[in-house]
Amino acid sequence: MIVLHGGPDFDQAYLLPDLDRLADRFRLIYYDQRGRGRSAEGVQPDDVTLTSDVDDIDRVRQHFQLESSALLGHSWGAVLALEYALRYPTRVSQLIIMNPAPASASDVAVLRKAYLQKLGADMERQRTILASPAYQQGNPEAVAARYRIHFKPALARPQDYEKLMATMKAGFIRQGKDGIVKARAVEDRLMRDTWEVDGYDLLPKLRNLKVPALVIWADHDFIPAEIAEHIARAIPNARLVTMRNCGHFAYLECGSDVRRAFDEFFRAHP
């Protein structure tokens, strides 16, 4: 199973070690997407496009000599997984879409409206951090402070929130200022290739997918339910599972329920 991290300015580190609960059954292949984490060295932001990200997934598949593989995309990684499945449908055996980001420009608008409502008064605090020189220059402390606000409404329980924030802060420190600024520029480029494209909409195209799909959403996610519902409805052979008392990081917050959903899905689609 090839794992696609979110962000898209993050690397794989925030998924670990919690997603590795699945490693007793699945061979999980993680990698940092181009221009991020350990794949950043020697890469300029302009080297990264949606096309290069999709092609890199196929390079990973070829490297491990896989005729096809299951593909798991979390958050923004779900959009990348869908883009890959549409381009290379015969190379995906099963598709797992976990806490998905929007797959259309219209759903991006839905997310932004809901996000403003959920953040409430904290939005002004976040804007202040975003405008600060420290944040603009990639200072890890400032970046961590921003994401404490950003993800505050995204998790169901304080202990999971604090665990995630500690993992992310360690990642920002490891990444350093230059890595953070580069990853942010990569994210801007990928937005121009997707959500900022006039009429961007994967949903009609997904109706042609034959691959079995599992779409996981959680009732405390800060991404509205309708975004996952639209994706699940568009893929003919998709099953939507809602996790209860769980947020945007379902693999961390409700690992047993995620495992149960995986087991049921792969029993039905071995």
| pLDDT tens-digit map of 200-214 | 999 999 999 999 999
pLDDT of res. 74? 98
pLDDT of res. 147? 97
pLDDT of res. 258? 97
**What is d(CA 153, CA 11) in angstroms, rounded to the nearest whole number?**
21
- Strands 69-74, 29-30: pairing is unpaired
pLDDT of res. 92? 98
* Domains held by the chain: number: 1
Mean pLDDT (the chain, rounded): 96
The percentage of residues in the chain with a pLDDT greater than 70, rounded to a whole number, is: 100
pLDDT of res. 48? 97
Is the bond preceding 17 in cis, omega lying within 30 degrees of 0? yes
What length is written for the chain?
A: 270
**Which of 168, 174, 7, 172 lies closest to 80, judged by CA?**
7
**Domain of 243, in residue numbers:** 2-268
Tokens of 54: 């999709």
pLDDT of res. 200? 97
For residue 25, what are the CA distances in angstroms to 28, 52, 132, 266? 9, 30, 45, 11
pLDDT of res. 80? 98
Residue 134, class by beta-carbon neighbours within 10 Å (0-12 exposed, 13-18 middle, 19+ buried)?
middle
pLDDT, one tens digit per residue, over 110-133 is 999 999 999 999 999 999 999 999
For residue 155, what are the CA distances in angstroms to 148, 226, 254, 255? 11, 18, 11, 14
For residue 22, what are the CA distances in angstroms to 10, 69, 83, 118? 21, 15, 24, 31
Report pTM. 0.95
For the chain, counts of helices (H) and of strands (E): 11, 6
pLDDT of res. 102? 98
Which residues, other chains included, contact 190 with Cβ-Cβ below 8 Å and sequence gap of 6+? Answer: 8, 48, 49, 50, 53
pLDDT of res. 106? 96
Tokens 């792969």 sit at which residue? 266
Yes or no: say if 28 and 20 are a contact pair by the CB < 8 Å rule: yes
98: CATH: 3.40.50.1820
pLDDT of res. 89? 95
Which portions of the chain are predicted below pLDDT 50?
Answer: none
**What is d(CA 255, CA 264) in angstroms, rounded to the nearest whole number?**
14
